[in-house]
């Protein structure tokens, strides 16, 4: 079957992404949100954070899919609760 292009099926593409960044303790943390929902969250018209977040993970680099290390999260935020940290990053 030469000449056929194979596409990766195990990759989840993030579309309509707004990357929200927070620099704390000299490290940068990012979360992936929906563009149209971030402003609603910050204006407090959106109450459910699950509607704002594309994933409840905290990243070092969203584009590369690099998750933040647990030790870094505990050092900077004093917790490893991903959802709580997402709330802190999205509304500092």
Note the pLDDT tens digit of each residue in 6-26. Answer: 666 666 666 788 999 999 999
Rounded to 5 degrees, φ, ψ at 63 are: -60, -35
Note the pLDDT tens digit of each residue in 37-68. Answer: 988 988 989 999 999 999 899 999 998 889 99
One CATH from 1.10.510.10, 1.10.3720.10, 3.40.50.10490, 3.30.1250.10 for 17-90: 3.30.1250.10
Measure the CA–CA gap between 36 and 2, rounded to whole angstroms.
Answer: 43
pTM of structure = 0.78
pLDDT confidence bin for 90, thresholds 50/70/90: confident
Using CA of residue 13, residue 24, residue 81, residue 73, what is the dihedral sign?
positive
Specify whether the CB–CB gap between 88 and 53 falls below 8 A: no
Q: Where are the domains of the chain?
A: 17-90
Measure the CA–CA gap between 38 and 87, rounded to whole angstroms.
Answer: 11
Alpha helices in the chain (DSSP H): 35-42, 70-77, 82-90
The two beta strands, 66-67 and 59-61, are antiparallel
């Amino acid at each position: 079957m030469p000449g056929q292009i194979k596409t990766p099926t195990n990759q989840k593409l993030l579309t309509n992404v707004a990357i929200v960044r927070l620099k704390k303790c000299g490290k940068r943390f990012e979360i992936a949100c929906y563009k149209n929902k971030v402003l609603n969250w910050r204006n407090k018209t959106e109450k459910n954070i699950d509607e704002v977040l594309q994933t409840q993970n905290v990243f070092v680099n969203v584009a590369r899919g690099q998750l933040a290390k647990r030790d870094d999260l505990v050092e900077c935020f004093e917790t490893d609760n991903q959802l709580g940290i997402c709330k802190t990053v999205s509304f500092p």
